[in-house]
Amino acid sequence: MDASGGKATVIEFAGTDGRTGKPARLVGLVLPLGAQTWFYKLMGDAELVAQQKEALIRFVQSATYPDAH
C-alpha cells in the first residue's frame, strides 16, 4: 500500500479471542522509512475491526514523516 514516504505492508490475522471466545481480528501496517520503521495496529472484535480497516489505511496514508529519507 502506498503511504507518505514509502510503501507499507498490510498484515491481517483472524481468529478467536482467547479471553472471550468471540471472533477477533488484527490489522497491522508496517512502514519502513530509512532507518526508522513505523508500526500501526488495530485489534479487537472481528466485525468492528473489519469495518474500520479502510479508516486505518486512510489514516496511515495521511500521516507525514518529516524525518523520512
Sign of the alpha-carbon torsion through 52, 53, 58, 59: positive
32 domain-assigned: yes
**15-28: per-residue pLDDT in tens?**
999 999 999 999 99
Structure pTM?
0.86
Could you tell me which of 5, 15, 14, 4 has the C-alpha nearest to residue 53? 14
Range of the domain at 36: 2-62
Cβ contacts of 17 within 8 Å, gap of 6 or more = 23, 24
In order, the DSSP letters of 4-34 are TTEEPEEEEEEEE-TTT-SEEEEEEEEEEET
| Residue 65 pLDDT | 85
Structural domains of the chain, count: 1
67 domain-assigned: no
44 domain-assigned: yes
